[in-house]
């Protein structure tokens, strides 16, 4: 998280190092009615934000994987990570419950 913030604030972010396709992000943004033009830096920022979000959620889920003395991240780990942090309250109804698939 700190590394991503530093890159964003110092301007050392390189577009080629982003993992998500910028054209697809821009296309998704334009699906919304009323959005006609998107500044070139906006998809870059959304890509960075999405990467940080996925990394943060994965790290929290991995902590639950380690608590279970396992080496494979599973759906219940993600569910537990969502439930234990208020930051992810908006995902409670989207992420399957911990007992999903058992």
List the one residue out of 95, 89, 58, 83 whose CA is nearest residue 73: 58
Residue 98 included in any domain: no
Residue 81 included in any domain: yes
The whole domain housing 14 covers 2-91
> How many domains, in total, are found in the chain?
1
Residue 100 included in any domain: no
Please tell me the predicted confidence (pLDDT) of residue 5.
57
18: domain CATH number? Answer: 1.10.20.10
Residue 101 included in any domain: no
Residue 99 included in any domain: no
Rounded CA separation 43/26 (Å): 6
Please tell me the predicted confidence (pLDDT) of residue 14.
67
Per-run averaged pLDDT (10 residues), the chain, 102 residues: 58 72 91 89 90 92 95 94 93 83 56
- End-to-end CA, the chain: 33
Residue 15 included in any domain: yes
Give the C-alpha distances (Å, rounded to integers) separating 30 from 8, 25, 44.
24, 9, 15
């Amino acid at each position: 998280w700190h590394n991503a913030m530093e890159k964003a604030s110092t301007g050392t972010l390189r577009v080629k190092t982003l993992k998500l396709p910028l054209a697809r992000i821009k296309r998704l943004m334009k699906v919304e009615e009323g959005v006609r033009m998107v500044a070139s830096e906006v998809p870059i920022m959304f890509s960075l934000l999405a990467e940080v979000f996925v990394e943060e959620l994965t790290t929290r889920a991995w902590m639950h994987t380690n608590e279970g003395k396992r080496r494979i991240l599973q759906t219940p780990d993600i569910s537990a990570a969502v439930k234990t942090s208020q930051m992810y309250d908006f995902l409670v109804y989207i992420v399957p419950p911990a007992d999903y698939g058992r």
